[in-house]
Amino acid sequence: MSERDTLEYPFRQPTRRERPQLPENRMNRKLIRPSLTELKDQNPSKLRKKPAPPEQTNAENFYYVKQMQAKTPMVIVLQDGEQIKGIIEWYDKTCIKVHRQNGPNLLLYKPCIKYLYKENDEGDVAS
C-alpha cells in the first residue's frame, strides 16, 4: 500500500466483535446529552407547561363599575336593534340593571345585549 492509500483509509477493518480503531490524530466524538431524569432534577420549573390564561380577565366588570360610579348615561343596543338609554345601576354575572329617567328600570339579560356605548359618544358610532 502506498502512503496515499493509508491516508484515505485510516481505519483497520473490524472483526466481528471488535469496534473500529481510530487513528491517534482523530478524536472520538461522542454525543453528550443529559438524560431526562437529570433534566427534571436540575430545573423542574422549566419543564412545566405554561399555565392556561384565566377564563375571565375582569375587564367587563371593571368597565361596569367605572360607568356605575361615574353614573355615565349609556346606550344599550339589544340583539333585535332596540336601543335602551339609561344609567347602569347594578350588574352581576348574567344581568345588568338599567335606571331610566323616562321609563321603568330594566333588568337586561347579558346575552340579549349586542353592544353598549356612552350616550355622549353617539355621534362617533357608524350607522
Q: Which of 8-22, 25-39, 65-79 has the highest mean pLDDT?
A: 65-79
pLDDT class of 55 with cuts at 50, 70, 90: confident
pLDDT class of 10 with cuts at 50, 70, 90: low
How far apart CA 107 and CA 94 sit, in angstroms, is 10
- Give bridge partners of residue 106 from the DSSP assignment: 98
Cα of first residue to Cα of last residue in the chain, in angstroms, is 93
Q: Is 81 left (phi over 0), alpha (psi -120 to 50) or beta?
A: left
Three cell numbers at 5? 492509500
Q: What is the pLDDT of residue 40?
A: 67
Domain boundaries in the chain?
59-124
Q: What is the pLDDT of residues 77-99, one digit of tens each?
A: 999 999 999 999 999 999 999 99
Residue 121 phi, psi (nearest 5): -90, 15
pLDDT class of 54 with cuts at 50, 70, 90: confident
How confident is the model over 108-121, as a mean pLDDT?
Answer: 93
For 59-124, CATH gives: 2.30.30.100
Q: What is the pLDDT of residue 64?
A: 94
How confident is the model over 24-44, as a mean pLDDT?
Answer: 66
